[in-house]
Copies of this chain bind each other. A is one copy, B any other.
């Protein structure tokens, strides 16, 4: 095999209460990546569609940084090179794990091209190096679901321990991405370094509730647990009409609604496609009313994560 084309989904990190640890994969949106073996050893990026301003230098682009981490871990002398053609469907700065999709797609593609020296779960650690290049911190809450699919829990970073959570099949995600940019680094800065123990207890009560609700298929419990008292109260201030959007989603039957990752995208969970579409309409109407461009996605939860297209 000299060439492979893969897809890695966009993701919703945090999922309400699970700041820095929970994430889910979307079905309908993500990055496509073609990797080709070339004659000259080394990594090259020949094209980036959809976000042409991203760096093509292999030591700066998250995709090739992640792949380099994988190759370094292998300790193989590759007698060929690898060229990357990236098609981005989710804009950087959306809060939908844009950089994570690229890193995930890249390590998954190269691992496949090299006849899978690593298991899928092991790829998370390499994709995290892409995240480090993007934001300065090696987060896993987007790369884990982008690679593995479904809902993932990063139980621990040291050592890395990523868990695939059980969840009910009838679960839909509606996402609205208001067209303003919030940088992850800015969105991290406004969080407090210490939090009241009382708030922390509330948060881990909800994490326990969400994981239990997903495992039991208890939709009401899932909804009650989609509460974030740590990041949402601060970050929502950076998102125009967040409170109105959340209210509109809940009024349209969403189980719960919160910020996707560090925003500005907002996600809502529903139990069926029709309701997910209703929430989408509510989001669209709200931002149209306020003359803010917004892209809306409706998706089931992606059960497989990164996959080979051809």
Contacts and interface: CB of A to CB of B under 8 A. Distances in A.
Nearest to A155: B209
A195 to B, nearest CB: 5
A48 B18 CA distance: 46
B203 A200 contact: yes
Contacts of A94: none
Number of copies: 2
A34 interface: no
Contacts of A208: 18, 21-22, 153, 155, 163, 207-208, 210-211
A156 B207 CA distance: 11
Given A193-B196, A194-B195, A209 B19 contact: no
Contacts of A192: 197
B197 A156 contact: no
A142 to B, nearest CB: 15
Contacts of A204: 17-19, 21, 200, 203-204, 207
A262 interface: no
A20 interface: yes
